[in-house]
Amino acid sequence: MILFFQTLISGLSLGSIYALIALGYTMVYGIAKMLNFAHGDVIMIGAYSVIVAVMQMNMPPILAIFVSIAFCALLGVIIEFLAYKPLRKAPSLAVLITAIGVSYFLQNIAQLIFGTQQKFFPKIISLPSVTLGTIEISGITLATLAVTAIIMIVLTLFINKTKVGKAMRAVSEDKEAAELMGISTNRTISVTFAIGSALAAVASIFYGATYTYIKPTTGSMPGIKAFTAAVFGGIGSIPGAMLGGILLGIIEQFSKAYVSTTMSDAIVFAVLVIVLVVKPTGLLGKKISEKV
């Protein structure tokens, strides 16, 4: 029974990180209707920027966190401007391939600047762990869960209640009609990327605090898993990303603990396939009837 709870806690810890990353994925997909495969690598860059800020520029942790968030938001806007904006009218496949290219570009840039060996992430967050009976829950896990939930709520409110959010929904619905109504599509999509990448920076801080080590390929696997989580929960749906991420983390850890540590990925993706067969829009995805 102890094993069960220990696994549940480690699943929650992993799942909350996936959820945090998946929020960024789903946000960009929901508005710009594109899969930003470079999202995972922005997380890696975010983590390195914290390392540089704290270890080399000796910034206080709080300042480093804000610098990293601002840096990633700017990076997101620049990536969008240079790589995706020229392809606004191109078929979505071209954009997808470009995103994969950006992902490799970021990985290799990081490799050039920081080398290929892993670096450790400074301990900028130290929270006491909570003990329930014999089970210990780390403070970072709780903080990640709380932050993810808060971001989920704020994002939902932002998209549904603010003027910028309304513009985002309009652009997502129909770009040309939105333009005709006086909404600047380019600016709206830029803002979306800025927010998505800022979320990546937040994710990088919790990732670094949980897993301690960062290397240039750090972002790619969690990125793919979080993308899976976003699809699992219903891509484009913000609560879906959170639910999908947490479930994915729990499934992964349970299959590691009870089935096989090497088969866990196969099991995770098999669950995804089953969900998509039964419910093609994901757990919380809305059914959209395409007009032909």
**For another protein, the closer CB: 6 or 281:** 6
**For another protein, the closer CB: 158 or 211:** 211
Closest contact distance (angstroms) between CB of 19 and another protein is 15
**For another protein, the closer CB: 60 or 115:** 115
Among 92, 116, 162, 184, binds another protein (CB under 8 A): 116
13 contacts another protein (rule: CB under 8 A): yes
Among 26, 31, 209, 215, binds another protein (CB under 8 A): 215
Site string for another protein, 62-101 (x = CB under 8 A): ----------------------------------------
Show contacts with another protein in window 117-146 (CB under 8 A). 117-118, 120-121, 123
Which listed range, 41-49, 65-73, 82-90, 218-226, lies at the site for another protein (CB under 8 A)?
A: 218-226
Among 94, 213, 270, 274, binds another protein (CB under 8 A): 213
Q: Which residue has the tokens 């909404």?
A: 183
**For another protein, the closer CB: 219 or 285:** 219
162 contacts another protein (rule: CB under 8 A): no
Which listed range, 60-68, 152-160, 184-192, 255-263, lies at the site for another protein (CB under 8 A)?
A: 255-263
**For another protein, the closer CB: 138 or 186:** 138
Among 92, 111, 160, 162, binds another protein (CB under 8 A): 111
Q: What is the rounded CA–CA span in Å between residue 72 and residue 196?
A: 9
Among 222, 236, 239, 282, binds another protein (CB under 8 A): 222
Q: What is the rounded CA–CA span in Å between residue 227 and residue 108?
A: 21
Q: What is the rounded CA–CA span in Å between residue 195 and residue 77?
A: 9
DSSP the chain: -HHHHHHHHHHHHHHHHHHHHHHHHHHHHHHH----TTHHHHHHHHHHHHHIIIIIS---HHHHHHHHHHHHHHHHHHHIIIIIGGGTTS-HHHHHHHHHHHHHHHHHHHHHHH-SS-EEPP-------EEETTEEE-HHHHHHHHHHHHHHHHHHHHHHHSHHHHHHHHHHH-HHHHHHTT--HHHHHHHHHHHHHHHHHHHHHHHHHHH-EE-TTTTHHHHHHHHHHHHHH-TT-HHHHHHHHHHHHHHHHHHHHHT-TTTHHHHHHHHHHHHHHH-TT-SSPPP-PPP-
Where do contacts with another protein occur on this chain (CB under 8 A)? 3, 6-7, 10, 13-14, 108, 111, 115-118, 120-121, 123, 211-213, 215, 217-218, 221-222, 253, 256-257, 261-262, 264-265
